[in-house]
Amino acid sequence: MDVNITLVAEAVSSARLANKHQVIDKLAELLAEVYDLKAEEISEGLEQREALGSTGFGKGIAIPHCRSADVRRPTLAVLKLEEPIDFGAADAMPVSLFFALVSPENAGATHLHALAAISRITRDDSRLQKMHDAPDGDALFAILTNQFLRDAA
Distance separating alpha carbons of residues 74 and 107, to the nearest angstrom: 8
**61, 97 in Cβ contact below 8 A?**
yes
65 classed as catalytic: yes
Pick the catalytic residue: 65, 111, 113, 132?
Answer: 65
Distance separating alpha carbons of residues 125 and 11, to the nearest angstrom: 20
**24, 64 in Cβ contact below 8 A?**
yes
Per-residue CA distances from 5 to 52, 59, 79, 99, 149 (Å): 24, 23, 16, 12, 11
Distance separating alpha carbons of residues 31 and 44, to the nearest angstrom: 13
Would you please indicate which residues are annotated as catalytic (active-site) residues? 65
